Structure 1
């Protein structure tokens, strides 16, 4: 193994909790385990390291790590051994996860808008409750989108300030 340190009990528990959180959101538990693992590592982690540290097979780890790389939670990097894939936690992991959730909010708003249009186009046929529910859904997700955008803007400011403070230290 290219890593010369093992996981502490706290790190193991952190990794397990990430797996639990991802699973509770209907995502793949293994993806959460990998994100948790990457957050505990100072150096890039190879797929072989992940196999050893997480005790899972290479095939499922490879698929899971590619998926979290695709959505911006991990980043493929060069490592000490050529022709091996190495990964780190993406520097914007938390913001990218947030944006992934924001996309779900946008899809829900778009769904409400799309079906409001279709149901209204079908004519007034006793669908007042459906229309009212979809209007409520649309308003809810529009507000949520504005909160997400405000949060995203505010986080960018805070992150920049934190980076400036780190550079000055």
Structure 2
């Protein structure tokens, strides 16, 4: 079993819990992501539970959720009978893409109800139609931003990886 976290590592883990909670997500998800970011080696479920002082059951189900959206991944570890986890190398990009899916869903919702309300011709829908037009325009612009940002991030990441390769 590993030693405990340093005070600075503990602060980082707690801050990730706060960030996730602030976004309306599970605090435990943030704690796990923060913990895995601090560790140089993969952690088993038991180690994660111990370091976070939590029960293994919620850790296990939360890890599965995080893995399903590409924030953590299962890897081989020192013991074959255990599952080990690390922060996904594309953690931040995958989180960004997860958020982008919400943006797309919001745009599609605006478009669906905009079409239906415009087609109804009901004057009672006029205020909603105007707001849905704004919603549609907003989320279209946000989608463009996300797509441009993703391309730029991939360029920056490639530069960082090239710089790291030349140092090693």
Instruction: Output the TM-score relative to the length of structure 2.
Output: 0.97
Give the 5 Å matches for 1:75-94: 75-94=73-92
CA RMSD of aligned residues (A): 0.8
In structure 1, the residue matched to 2:131 is 133
TM-score by length of 1: 0.96
CA distance in 1, matches of 2:90, 2:22: 22
| 1:154 partnered with 2:152 | yes
Structure 1 gaps of 5+ residues are none
**Correspondence for 2:46:** 48
Residue 90 of structure 1 deviates from its aligned partner by 0.1
**1-structure distance, mates of 2:125, 2:7:** 57
1:107-131: CA deviation from partner (whole Å, max 9, x where unpaired): 1101100101111222243322111
Q: CA deviation at 1:13?
A: 0.6
**Residue-by-residue CA offset, 1:9-43 (whole Å, 9 max, x unaligned):** 01001000100111111111101000000000000
Shift of 1:166: 0.5
Counterpart in 1 of 2:161?
163
> 1:110 and 1:31 mapped to 2: Cα distance?
28
Partner of 1:15: 13
Gaps of 5+ in 2: none
Q: Secondary structure of the residue that 1:126 maps to in structure 2?
A: helix
Aligned residues: 167
